Amino acid sequence: MGHKTDILQRWYDQVWTLGRLEVVDELFAAETRASGIMPDFAVDPDDFKKLVTAVCALCTPPSATILRAHEDGDWLSAHIEVRTTNLAETRDVKVTGMAFVRFQGDKMVETYNNFDFLNFFEQLGQLPDGSLGLLLAGSRLD
């Protein structure tokens, strides 16, 4: 792994798996906004801490594996697999996503994330299985 890939893996291991929210401030610059987690909403470091806390209330501490990574100058692109367990049903959960991160030194200063949250919430039992197919067929998930 390259240096930037190691930093991103540390981010997942420390912040998400171990719940060490203070590491957010070590690895994210104060002005960093993570885009792509929610449409039209960028998450700052304090928001990210709340997001981690909210997600971890629904599942066991997630573990992330960087499957593929490419470093180019200040940028890192990574394909990531996240595994956890649904607390309500003790059901294994696995989702994948992509992250594009720009670094200044050892800090993330710009991030773009795209994870399969629809599948994630299906596996947590908060959406019906096959939600994407139902939505594509014109159904409503009322």
Kindly state whether residue 139 falls inside one of the protein's structural domains. no
**39-43, 47-51, 88-92 — which is least confidently predicted?**
39-43
Instruction: Give the model's pLDDT for residue 36.
Output: 76
pTM: 0.89
Kindly state whether residue 98 falls inside one of the protein's structural domains. yes
Instruction: Judge whether residue 84 has pLDDT over 90.
Output: yes
Kindly state whether residue 37 falls inside one of the protein's structural domains. yes
Kindly state whether residue 106 falls inside one of the protein's structural domains. yes
Kindly state whether residue 117 falls inside one of the protein's structural domains. yes
Mean pLDDT value across the chain:
91
**Number of domains forming the structure of the chain:** 1
Q: Domain range for residue 91?
A: 3-124
CATH of the domain at 29: 3.10.450.50
Kindly state whether residue 105 falls inside one of the protein's structural domains. yes
Quick one: three-class SS letters along the chain?
Answer: CCHHHHHHHHHHHHHHHCCCCHHHHHHECCCCCEEEEECCEEECHHHHHHHHHHHHCCECCCEEEEEEEEEECCEEEEEEEEEEEECCCCEEEEEEEEEEEEEECCEEEEEEEEECHHHHHHHCCCCCCCHHHHHHCCCCCC
Segment 99-123 mean pLDDT: 93
Segment 70-94 mean pLDDT: 94
Kindly state whether residue 140 falls inside one of the protein's structural domains. no
Write out pLDDT tens, residues 45-81.
Answer: 888 899 899 999 999 999 999 999 999 999 999 999 9
* pLDDT band of 38, cuts 50, 70, 90: low
Instruction: Give the model's pLDDT for residue 135.
Output: 87
Kindly state whether residue 60 falls inside one of the protein's structural domains. yes
